[in-house]
Structure 1
Amino acid sequence: MESISTKQDAEGERIVSETITERKEVHIKVLEEHAVSSTHKENSATLQAEESLSISWTKLTYTITNKKTKKPENIIENCCGIVNPGEIMAIMGPSGAGKSTLLDVLAGRKDPKHVTGTVYLNGKSGENVKFVSTYVMQDDALMGSLTVRENIRFAADLCFPSTVSPQERHQKVTAIIKEFGLERVADHKVGNIIIRGVSGGEKRRTAIASQFVTLPKIIFLDEPTTGLDSAAAYSVMNAIITTAKMHKLTVIASIHQPSSEVFALFDKLYLISRGGTIYHGSRDGALDYFKDQGYECPEHANPADFYLSKINVDFMQDKEVGEAHIQTLIEKYEESSVKRSVDKEIDELCLPIDKEDVASDKLVTSKTTQGYNRYARGFFVQTYFITKRSFTNAYRNILLYWIRVAMYVCLALLMGTVWWQVAFEQKNIQDRFSAHFFSVAFLVFMSVAGIPGFLEERVVFRRERADGFYSVGSYALANFVVSIPFVFIIALTFTAVAYPMIGLHSGFGHCMSFLAYLYLALMVAESMVVFVAAVIPIFVVALAIVAFLNGFFMVVQGYFVRRDSIPRGWKWAHYIDYQKYAFEAIIKNDFVGLTFKCDKDESTSRCSCFYGDTSGKSCTFNGQDVLDSFGYTEIKPWLWAVALLGLMIIFRVGFYAALRLRKNRL
Structure 2
Amino acid sequence: MVPWGLIVSVAAYAAFPQHRTVIVAVSAVGSLVRGGKKKGKAVRHKSFVAGDPDRGVKLEWSSITCQLLDKKGNEVKKLLDGLNGSARPGRLLAIMGPSGSGKTTLLNTLAGQLPKSSKIALYGSIRANGVPIADSWHKQVYVRQEDIFFSQLTVRETLVTAAKLQLPSSMSDEEKEQHVEQLLQHLGLVNAAGTIVGDNKTRGISGGEKKRLSIACELLGNPSVVFADEPTTGLDAYQAEKVMQTLKDLAKEGRTVICSIHQPRGSVFDMFDDIMVVAGGKLVYSGPAGDACLEYFKNQGHDCPLHSNPAEFLSDLVGTDHTSADTEAQSAARIQRLIQAFAAHSAAQTGSSTALAVSQDLQASLADSEEEDGEEDGEGGGKSKRRLGLTAAKADGAGAGFWQQFKILLVRAWRQTTRDRATNVVRAMMNLTSAAIFGSIFWRMGFGQTTIQDRMGLLQVAAINTAMASITKTLNVFPKERQIVERERAKGAYAVGPYFLSKLVAELPVTAFFPALFSMVCYPMTGLHRTVPRFLKFLGATTVESFTSSAMGLTVGCIAPTTEAAMALGPSIMTVFIVFGGYYVNADNTPAIFRWIPNASLIRWGFEALCVNEFDGLTFEATKPTDLKTGRQVLERLSFADSSVAKSVRKEVQIMLGWYWASAYLLHKKTPEFTRLLPVSKLAGKESESGNGVEGAAGKSSVVIEEVIEASGEAVTAAEVTEVSAESLTTAEVTTTTTTTTTITTESASTEVETSVEEEFVEAE
TM-score by length of 1: 0.81
- Aligned equivalent of 1:433: 456
Cα distance change of structure 1 residues 279 and 433 upon mapping to structure 2, 3 Å threshold: same
Match of 2:641 in 1: 633
Q: In the alignment, what sits opposite 1:509?
A: 533
Mapped to 2, the partners of 1:93 and 1:266 lie a distance apart of 15
Counterpart amino acid of residue 645 in structure 1? V
Conservation of the 8 A alpha-carbon contact between 1:278 and 1:333: no
Match of 1:253 among 245, 254, 259: 259
Report if aligned partners of 1:180, 1:209 keep a CA contact under 8 Å in 2.
yes
C-alpha distance in structure 2 between counterparts of 1:625 and 1:281, whole Å: 86
How far apart are the structure 1 equivalents of 2:449 and 2:584? 19
**Larger deviation: 172-181 or 629-638?**
629-638
SS of the aligned residue for 1:335 comes to helix
Per-residue CA distance 1:308-344 (angstroms, 9 max, x = gap) = 3333345443165245324323422431316974998
Hey, what does 1:173 align to over in structure 2? 180
Structure 1 residue 634, shift from structure 2 partner:
1.9
Q: Per-residue displacement from partner, 1:406-454 (whole Å, max 9, x unpaired)?
A: 2112112222232233224444222222222221112112332432222
Distance 1:540 1:260, change over 3 A: closer
Instruction: Give the CA deviation at 1:35.
Output: 8.1
Which residue is equivalent to 2:288? 282
For 1:407, give the aligned amino acid: M
Cα distance in structure 2, aligned partners of 1:660 and 1:232 = 37
Q: Choose from 578, 597, 605 the match for 1:573.
A: 597
SS in 1 for 2:418: helix
Inter-partner Cα distance in structure 2 for 1:647 and 1:523: 10
Summarize the Cα distance change of 1:475–1:32 in structure 2 as closer, same or farther, 3 Å threshold. farther
Question: Out of 315, 318, 329, which is 2:341 matched to?
Answer: 329
Over 3 Å counting, the alpha-carbon distance change for 1:60 and 1:527 in structure 2 is same
Contact 1:422 1:502 in 2 (8 A): yes
Gaps of 5+ in 1: 1-8, 10-19, 38-44, 351-371, 602-607, 612-620
Distance 2:317 2:335 in 1: 12
Contact 1:88 1:251 in 2 (8 A): yes
Indicate which of 603, 624, 627 corresponds to 1:610: 627
From 538, 550, 565, the equivalent of 1:526 is 550
Q: In structure 2, what residue type is equivalent to 1:218? A: V
The Cα of 1:270 is off from its aligned counterpart by 1.6
After superposition, the C-alpha distances for 1:365-408 in whole angstroms (9 at most, x for unaligned) are xxxxxxx9998433443343333222212222245443112211
The letter for the 2-side match of 1:273 is: A
> Aligned ranges for residues 583-662 of structure 1 at < 5 Å?
583-592=607-616, 594-600=617-623, 608=625, 610-611=627-628, 621-662=629-670
Q: What residue is the counterpart of 1:12 in the other structure?
A: none
What is the aligned counterpart of 1:551 among 567, 575, 578? 575
In structure 2, do the counterparts of structure 1 residues 373 and 407 end up closer, same or farther at CA, with 3 Å as the change threshold? farther
Alignment of 1:134-145 (within 5 A): 134-145=141-152
Query: 68, 84, 90: which is aligned to 1:86?
Result: 90
Between Structure 1 and Structure 2, whose CA radius of gyration is higher?
2
**Structure 1 Cα separation of the partners of residues 355 and 643 of structure 2:** 77
Question: Which of 404, 407, 422 in structure 2 is aligned with 1:384?
Answer: 407
Query: Structure 2 CA distance, aligned partners of 1:424 and 1:348?
Result: 96
Secondary structure at 2:619 match in 1: strand
User: Is residue 201–residue 228 contact of structure 1 (8 Å, CA) maintained in 2?
Assistant: yes
Pick closer, same or farther for the CA change 1:564–1:26 going to 2, 3 Å. farther
Separation (CA, whole Å) in 1 of partners of 2:39 and 2:89: 20
The residue that corresponds to 1:317 in the other structure is: 328
The structure showing larger relative contact order (alpha-carbon pairs under 8 Å, at least 6 residues apart) is: 2
Alignment partner of 1:480 is 2:480: no
Instruction: Assess, with a 3 A threshold, how the Cα gap between structure 1 residues 429 and 275 changes in structure 2: closer, same or farther.
Output: same
Aligned to 1:272: 278
Instruction: State whether residues 168 and 396 of structure 2, in contact with CA within 8 Å, keep that contact through their aligned partners in structure 1.
Output: no
647-656 or 454-463, which moves further after superposition? 454-463
The range that moved more, 101-110 or 45-54, is 45-54
Kindly state the Cα deviation for residue 104 of structure 1 after the two structures are TM-superposed: 0.4
**Partner secondary structure for residue 551 of structure 1:** helix
The CA RMSD over aligned residues, in Å, is 3.6
Q: Deviations over 1:142-201 (max 9, x none)?
A: 233222222222222222121121111111211111111122222122222222223322
> Which residue number in structure 1 is paired with residue 523 of structure 2?
499
Asked whether the 8 Å contact 1:107–1:130 carries over to 2, the reply is no
Change (3 A) 1:145 1:30: farther
Q: In 1, distance between residues paired with 2:638 and 2:548?
A: 26
Change (3 A) 1:557 1:128: farther
The offset of 1:572, in angstroms, is 2.0
1:134 is aligned with what amino acid? V
Does the residue aligned with 2:595 lie in a helix, a strand or coil? Answer: helix
Which whole-Å CA distance do the structure 2 matches of 1:273 and 1:456 have between them? 33
**The 10-residue stretch of structure 1 (457-466 or 225-234) with the greater mean CA deviation from structure 2:** 457-466
Change (3 A) 1:192 1:433: same
Is the 2:97–2:315 Cα contact (8 Å) retained in structure 1? yes
Contact 1:375 1:470 in 2 (8 A): no
How far apart in 2 are the matches of 1:477 and 1:34? 52
Partner of residue 263, structure 1: 269
SS in 1 for 2:226: strand
**Cα drift, residue 570 of structure 1:** 2.4
For the structure 1 residues 477 and 177, does the alpha-carbon distance in structure 2 shift closer, same or farther, using more than 3 Å as the test?
Answer: same
1:370-449 map, 5 Å: 376-446=399-469, 447-449=471-473
Correspondence for 1:367: none
Q: Distance in 1 between matches of 2:163 and 2:131?
A: 29
Shift in alpha-carbon separation, 1:461–1:272, aligned structure 2, 3 A: same
Q: In the alignment, what sits opposite 1:146?
A: 153
The equivalences for 1:99-248 within 5 A come to 99-110=103-114, 111=116, 114-127=121-134, 132-246=139-253, 248=254
Quickly say closer, same or farther: Cα 1:480–1:436, change in 2 above 3 A.
same
Unaligned runs of 5+ in 2: 1-13, 15-26, 363-394, 675-765
* 199 and 281 in structure 1: CA distance in 2 versus 1, 3 angstrom threshold: same
Q: CA deviation at 1:128?
A: 6.2
In structure 2, relative to structure 1, the CA distance for the partners of 1:278 and 1:207 (3 Å cut) is same
- Compute the displacement of 1:115 (Å): 1.8
Query: How big is each residue's C-alpha offset from its partner over 1:450-484, in whole Å with a ceiling of 9 and x where there is no partner?
Result: 32222343343344344443344544444333332
Larger helix share, 1 or 2? 1
Shift in alpha-carbon separation, 1:630–1:461, aligned structure 2, 3 A: closer
SS of equivalent residue, structure 2 residue 405: helix
- For 1:339 and 1:311, the matched residues in 2 are separated by 28
1:346 Cα deviation from its structure 2 partner: 9.4
Distance 1:598 1:408, change over 3 A: same
Could you tell me how far apart the structure 1 residues matched to 2:670 and 2:321 are?
Answer: 33
Letter in 1 for 2:293: A
> How many aligned positions are there?
601
Distance 1:32 1:74 in 2: 46
For 2:662 and 2:41, the matched residues in 1 are separated by: 44
Q: Quick one: distance in 2 between partners of 1:196 and 1:147?
A: 12
Q: Verify the 8 A CA contact 1:91 1:99 in the aligned structure 2.
A: yes
Does the 8 A contact of 2:32 with 2:43 survive in 1? no
Q: Aligned equivalents of 2:249 and 2:423: distance in 1?
A: 38
In structure 2, the CA distance between the partners of 1:327 and 1:95, relative to structure 1 (3 Å rule), is same
